[in-house]
Homo-oligomer: A and B are copies of this chain.
Amino acid sequence: MEKQTEQNSRRTRSGPRLDRSQRLAIDQLDWALPSYSDHPVQPVSEDDLQRIHDTSMQVLEDIGIVFLNEEALDILAKAGCDVDFANQNVRMDRALVMEMVNRAPAQFTITPRNADRMLTIGGKNMVYSSVASAPNVSDLDHGRRVGSRPDFQNLIRLNQYFNCLHFIAGYPVEPVDIHASIRHLDCLYDMLTLSDKVVHAYSLGSGRINDGMEMTRIAAGLTEAEFQAKPHMLTNINSTSPLKHDWPMLDGAMRCARRGQAVIISPFTLSGAMAPATVAGAIVQQNAEFLAGLVLLQLVKPHAPVVYGAFTSNVDMKSGSPAFGTPEYIRAMQISGQLARRYRLPWRGSVACAANYPDGQSVWESTASLNAVSAGHCNMVYHAAGWLEGGLCASFEKLIMDCEMLQQMIYLNRPLDLSDDALAFDAIKEVGPGSHFFGAEHTQRRFKDAFYAPFLSDWRNYEAWEEAGSLTTEKRANAIMKDILAEFTPPPMDAGIHDELLDFVNKRKAEGGVPTDF
């Protein structure tokens, strides 16, 4: 575990970066909650944003959203919505929607078992998580395969290790070697013991989400009242676009909201497939589906912490394949940011790509995504490290590569030194024409911390790079990944709490876990 206590030192470790035999894993930025420093990009005018909003309201008023959940239908009917119980379709007017939007907090915290890892969600803050929910996993040594618990655990270790990853947004890979009825118990146990960062539990049936909340409460040593007093974990629900919220997602979201935990509502609005084949139309639909979910949760629990989830991308029209990091994705993310700010809500986006290998395409798609969500001031960035294949694979090497890019984005958003000393008139005068700044006192004073120092980039000249084996980025990432896993130490956990957590897991396993037949 790399948690830093010395706030003065910019880097975790010093020493030569290129002689890997002489150092421990990597230099990395300290743990911190970064925030955006530039103004957000706003591709849509205020008038057009109003038109998008109005059209979403028209969808909610005239077409409606299907809620496949009797309890939700009852709650919405009681609040005055026009509920068609036969078709489970709910229409709601814009006055109610905006009243509920105004109930939701613009910013809130999530406090995991280690309070130093508390996140503030909203405003100008950004937090990142690694890839979540991939069925497959890959590395250069063993290729691509379905996920297993050892892979799951190693990905959790990496998510814990990197200070640029702030929370765990789900299972980085699905460990299919654990039976689905008890998988959530082992996974939550691993997440809560191998990491002390904010964790996520899936809203896939009442048993799973209840167990997830309970294990988070136990791991943090909280009473139920303390647990409910503020968010300690989160869940994410997806609509079944177009225009439908499913039973288990709604059930889990309502359970989380009732116990004061954070809920992200992320419509799955792939433009051209589950949403119109225009960015504007897909955003209208995303917005309507999100707002419908928010209304329900604010009725269930006023002021429940809800995050505006944006996942709109587009398909390849020729093949139907989902695409990510496209120009359409960039605009969809930035407009989502505009809407979230309009509603004064935190928002969640993703760093996504469609590539099958951690190569050039994977990086231009991921950097396009990262730049898009950053330019739009995204507060929670899912899948920010390790995502490949449109989310079908968690790549160990890609995770390392993405962390390099995330660090650079965090560093970029730090304040620039514009002091008189930084403007360097005296240094320029001292050095004078035709000389160089290597030996200048102004340079020497800054030797260690003048510039961002990457842990993965190879800046040697071609000859030196070739002599060292012509290692491409993903191969260097592979070596670093192994170093980190070799060095990894789990964060400390009180023995009594650990016992209680393990007892809970064993008890629930003995009870058979959760049903798997839905």
Contact = CB atoms under 8 A, between A and B. Distances in A.
Interface of A: 16-18, 37-39, 41-44, 48, 51-52, 55, 58-59, 62-66, 89, 136, 144, 240, 242-244, 271-282, 284-285, 288, 314-323, 326-328, 330-331, 354-365, 367-368, 371, 375, 389, 392-393, 401, 404-405, 408, 411-412, 416-425, 427-429, 431-438, 440, 442-443, 446-448, 450-454, 456-462, 465-466, 470, 472-474, 477
A316 B360 contact: no
Nearest to A372: B412
A356 B458 contact: yes
A285 B447 CA distance: 19
How many identical subunits does the complex contain? 2
12 contacts: A51-B420, A52-B423, A272-B450, A277-B440, A323-B457, A331-B416, A356-B465, A356-B470, A359-B472, A360-B362, A365-B457, A393-B462
Contacts of A315: 451
Given A278-B450, A357-B472, 20 more contacts: A16-B318, A39-B41, A62-B429, A240-B434, A243-B433, A244-B433, A273-B436, A277-B442, A277-B443, A278-B421, A280-B416, A314-B451, A317-B446, A318-B453, A326-B454, A356-B461, A359-B474, A360-B401, A363-B364, A363-B367
Given A360-B362, A424-B276, A434-B242, A416 B43 contact: yes
Contacts of A136: 462
Contacts of A58: 425
Contact of A321 (B317, B331, B459): B459
Contacts of A288: 428
Given A59-B428, A242-B434, A434-B242, A462 B392 contact: yes
B242 A431 contact: yes
Given A356-B458, A411-B327, A425-B59, A280 B367 contact: no
A427 B276 contact: yes
Contacts of A393: 462
Nearest to A460: B321
A396 B154 CA distance: 38
Of the listed residues A18, A331, A417, A461, the one surrounded by the most CB atoms of chain B closer than 10 A to its CB is: A461
Given A272-B443, A321-B460, A418-B44, A428 B66 contact: no
B317 A450 contact: yes
Closest 7 interchain pairs by CB?
A281-B424, A360-B473, A276-B424, A363-B363, A243-B433, A327-B412, A278-B422
B277 A405 contact: no
Given A52-B423, A367-B367, A473-B360, A314 B450 contact: yes
A477 B359 CA distance: 12
B443 A276 contact: yes
Of the listed residues A136, A367, A375, the one surrounded by the most CB atoms of chain B closer than 10 A to its CB is: A367
A117 to B, nearest CB: 25
A242 B51 contact: no
A41 B44 contact: no
A281 B427 contact: yes
Contacts of A42: 38-39
A451 B240 CA distance: 23
B451 A326 contact: yes
A357 B362 CA distance: 15
A428 B281 contact: yes
Given A367-B363, A450-B314, A457-B365, A408 B273 contact: no
A323 B454 CA distance: 10
Contacts of A460: 319, 321, 356
B473 A272 contact: no
Contacts of A39: 39, 41-42
B274 A437 contact: yes
B424 A472 contact: no
A272 B62 CA distance: 62
A417 B278 contact: yes
B361 A456 contact: yes
A113 B326 CA distance: 35
Contact of A66 (B322, B326, B434, B477): B434
B364 A429 contact: no
B416 A279 contact: yes
Contacts of A425: 55, 58-59, 284
Nearest to A392: B462
Contacts of A429: 59, 62-63
A313 to B, nearest CB: 10
Nearest to A374: B371
